[in-house]
């Protein structure tokens, strides 16, 4: 019994150490000076008691530090890539409006799912009463300061909003209405292809 009294705390400490190390994945950070530093990144605590960190953990042979959205331009952890953007959320009737204007709101790490003229971002969050991590799907066109929310819970794509937003690509609107494009990734990929088509010259 005396043996167990001393050995049990050791294994608990070892277990906590291993748990804290296993969530690190290969990746990199992009500093505000646009320098890439390669190492290992951890941005969340896994289940149980999961949560998103306000500051990511980064370690390499030369450093071990925490970085918030104001301190770096972005990072990659494993297969996930994130960009630091200003996010300003305001209530508008029954909807929320999302903008990205320098020095308005707060800087956040948004996950990049599709990158292009139109970028598909996921704004991740943790529910207050659980450790479940969810996200809000957002689109943002290059050169614009507004995001548009893409989905509405279990109802899928917000077709009415997307119909207006993509009026410059009628073919895309038609496919959304017909249910041929069902996910934000499919919509973003199709739109970027639509905008990259070179105009045909009339003879």
Residue keyed to tokens 């957002």: 138
Count of all residues that appear for the chain in the document: 203
Contact yes or no for 27/78 (Cβ under 8 A): yes
User: Is the whole model's pTM more than 0.85, yes or no?
Assistant: no
Contact yes or no for 59/39 (Cβ under 8 A): yes
| Per-domain residue ranges of the chain | 24-78
What Rg do the C-alpha atoms of the chain give, in angstroms?
Answer: 21
Helix (H/G/I), strand (E/B), else coil: 48: coil
Q: Is the peptide bond before 48 cis (omega within 30 degrees of 0)?
A: yes
CA 76 to chain CA centroid, nearest Å: 11
Q: What is the rounded distance in angstroms from the CA atom of residue 133 to the CA atom of residue 89?
A: 19
pLDDT at position 198:
56
Half-sphere exposure of 94 (CA within 13 A, CB side): 1
Rounded to 5 degrees, what are φ and ψ at 139? Answer: -110, 145
Structure tokens at 131: 């450790």
Would you give per-residue pLDDT tens digits along the chain (203 residues)?
Answer: 544 444 444 444 444 444 445 789 999 999 999 999 999 999 998 777 778 999 999 999 988 999 999 999 999 999 999 999 999 999 766 678 999 999 999 999 999 999 999 999 999 998 877 778 899 999 999 999 999 999 987 679 999 999 999 999 999 999 999 999 999 999 999 999 999 875 544 44
């Amino acid at each position: 019994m005396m043996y167990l009294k001393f050995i049990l705390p050791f294994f608990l400490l070892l277990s906590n150490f291993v748990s804290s190390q296993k969530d690190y994945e290969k990746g990199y950070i992009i500093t505000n000076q646009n320098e890439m530093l390669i190492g290992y990144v951890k941005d969340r605590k896994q289940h149980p008691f999961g949560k998103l960190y306000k500051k990511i953990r980064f370690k390499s042979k030369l450093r071990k530090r925490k970085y918030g959205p104001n301190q770096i331009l972005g990072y990659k952890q494993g297969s996930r890539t994130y960009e630091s953007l200003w996010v300003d959320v305001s209530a508008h009737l029954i909807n929320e409006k999302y903008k990205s204007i320098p020095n308005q709101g707060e800087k956040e790490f948004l996950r990049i799912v599709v990158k292009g003229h139109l970028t598909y971002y996921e704004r991740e969050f943790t529910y207050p009463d659980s450790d479940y991590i969810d996200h809000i799907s957002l689109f943002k066109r290059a050169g614009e300061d507004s995001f548009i929310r893409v989905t509405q819970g279990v109802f899928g794509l917000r077709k009415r909003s997307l119909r207006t937003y993509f009026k410059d690509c009628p073919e895309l609107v038609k496919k959304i209405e017909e249910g041929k494009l069902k996910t934000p990734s499919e919509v973003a990929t199709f739109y970027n292809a639509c905008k990259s088509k070179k105009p045909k010259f009339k003879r």
